[in-house]
Amino acid sequence: MAGTEPAPTGLSHFVGLIRASIPPMHPGGRPIVAGVGAAALLARALTGRGTVLGVAATAAVAAFFREPVRVTPDRPGAIVSPADGLVAIVDECPPPAELGLPPAPLPRVSVFLSVLDVHVQRIPLDARVERVVYRPGKFLSADLDKASEDNERSSMLLRGADGQQVGVVQIAGLLARRIVCQVSEGAEVAAGETYGLIRFGSRVDTYLPAGTRVLVAPGQRTIGGETVLADPTCSEPAS
């Protein structure tokens, strides 16, 4: 029949499955992956050895910077996790001063990212970016509570369509030496879209509106852009 595309062959179908299963890489990781690959090639040229180790190292670094496709829940008003990882802390804490919020404690969810987790960060709700502030600091282990105060960080304040304000703070960890934030003040952003990256072990804190009931608990794993941290319109019990 005219206009009908031929069915994929077994080989092309297999190749398509492989491509679909390998997530794309965040652009921020490409220079590092290229550097590791170049170093591996140089070592192979100088010594004639290390091919397997070089390929493995390059592949591991490429996997670290993966940016998998995520599907944000169709749940208006929900605040989704900005990061993959382990919920380390659920408490109430004054937000960082640079966010410009009142100093009263707000519900906070801290997600710790190990070197095995996806390290891109995602917008937690449809919103307008009101503030983005970078602050240099130390490189303490990200799973320590004082890392929120002392470590290098990039803080972002969002205002949703209903006026609710949510703060998201990227915090460098013991191995992290670079925080990437790709949004600017005044930008209109959508829930689930990628906005930043932290290289190697790190942490992301989300400050929720006062009185918000958190729907996750310490020890739970989150999926960035998909796991619902809170929903002001929801009546279901907390985890």
Give the active site residue among 12, 114, 202, 239: 202
CB 90 within 8 A of CB 214: yes
Residues 56-73 as b/e (b if ≥16 CB within 10 A, e otherwise) read ebbeebbebbebeebebe
Q: Residue 116, Cβ neighbours under 10 Å: how many?
A: 11
In terms of phi and psi (left: phi > 0; alpha: psi -120 to 50; beta: otherwise), the region of 219 is: left
Spatial CB neighbours of 177, under 8 Å, sequence gap ≥ 6: 139, 199, 200
Element (H, E) at 84: none
Residues 84 and 116: their CA atoms lie apart, in Å, by: 10
Q: Residue 47, Cβ neighbours under 10 Å: how many?
A: 8
Residues 109 and 228: their CA atoms lie apart, in Å, by: 11
Question: Is 202 part of the annotated catalytic residue set?
Answer: yes
Tell me the catalytic residues.
202
